[in-house]
Amino acid sequence: MMKMRWMVRLALPVLLVLAAGCGDDDSEAPSKCKKLIEPLAGTYVVINEVVRDRGTITVHADGEIDFDEKIHYEARDIETCDDHLSEEHDRRVQISYGMDDDSPVINLYLPSGKTAEDVTMIEYRHRDLGIEVRAEVEYQP
């Protein structure tokens, strides 16, 4: 009985830390990401000859992104977002779905501006699997 109490005492802090991430907030993208993604929400028509199952890409205001038939991420899948809009080269919003840059990433490229109308290319990249698909797009109001 004493051994059981000792094991529970050791396991309890670990269980509390794990449970802390299981609340209602897990259904949403991080707040930093929402601020970056919301102005870019909309449906985009793919205008280049890229191998895809569908001719549109949808970015939802909550952070959900539907890149193609088999490439879809919920807002809760987002690990982090990076704002690269102040850079001169490769201005983009980077949405990461893993712990590093080799995990799944979706980049929304904006040569200028900060709204959906300014997005010219959307890229899906997963370096661990050797995947990089860049779709030239036009915003569809």
Q: What confidence score (pLDDT) does residue 52 get?
A: 78
Q: What confidence score (pLDDT) does residue 20 get?
A: 39
Rounded distance between C-alpha atoms, residue 123 and residue 125, angstroms? 6
Other Cβ atoms within 10 Å of 139 Cβ, number: 16
State pTM to two decimals. Answer: 0.79
Average pLDDT over residues 49-76: 92
Phi and psi torsions of 136, nearest 5° = -75, 135
Q: Which CA distances in Å does 41 have to 22, 37, 115? A: 27, 6, 8
Of 141, 125, 81, 89, which Cα lies nearest the Cα of 110? 89
Rounded distance between C-alpha atoms, residue 33 and residue 91, angstroms? 16
Q: What is the CA radius of gyration of the chain?
A: 19
Q: What is the pLDDT of residues 77-126, one digit of tens each?
A: 999 999 999 998 899 999 999 999 899 999 999 999 999 999 999 999 99
Q: What is the pLDDT of residues 126-138, one digit of tens each?
A: 999 999 999 999 9
| Mean pLDDT rounded to a whole number for the chain | 85
The DSSP symbol for 48 reads: S
The domain locations on the chain are 27-140
- pLDDT band, residue 26 (cuts 50/70/90): low
Residue with more model confidence, 26 or 132:
132
